[in-house]
Amino acid sequence: MDIKKIRAAKDAMERLKLTEMMIKNITGEKGGGMNCYMGKGSAPSDLTGDVVIRLDELAKRKAKEEEEVRTLCNSAMKELDRLDDPITKQIIILREWEGMRWAWVARKIGYAHSESSVRQRYCRAIKDPS
């Protein structure tokens, strides 16, 4: 299993979230994105030209990042689908995607699994070249 693909997908999602936050910060929105003016042909009158240009740049960046996230997430899902064991798959998702510590992963998986057994399953899965 190539764990780098899962990490790359998560990193891309984080970059996309940052770009969305930057857009919301500039537009003063609490949510919803740039629908206030994107696609309608004109910007709100209270925005300066520099701000509109920056928003357009961020909108293009966001579109590129969204495509990258789709591609990388598809690749990550294919890697996870290669795992036959659903418990190992859950361990990898909880550790890599959710960022849980080993103790929390073990608790989430169930009492039959210790922290060390969960870590061993993870290590075996990412070392397996198949």
Computed over its alpha carbons, how large is the radius of gyration of the chain? 20
| Cβ atoms 78, 71 nearer than 8 A | no
- Angstrom distance (rounded) from CA 71 to CA 130: 21
| Cβ atoms 34, 56 nearer than 8 A | no
Structure confidence by residue, pLDDT tens digits, 53-98: 899 999 999 999 999 999 999 999 999 999 999 999 999 999 999 9
Classify residue 32 by its DSSP letter.
S
Structure confidence by residue, pLDDT tens digits, 16-50: 999 999 999 988 876 544 444 444 444 455 567 88
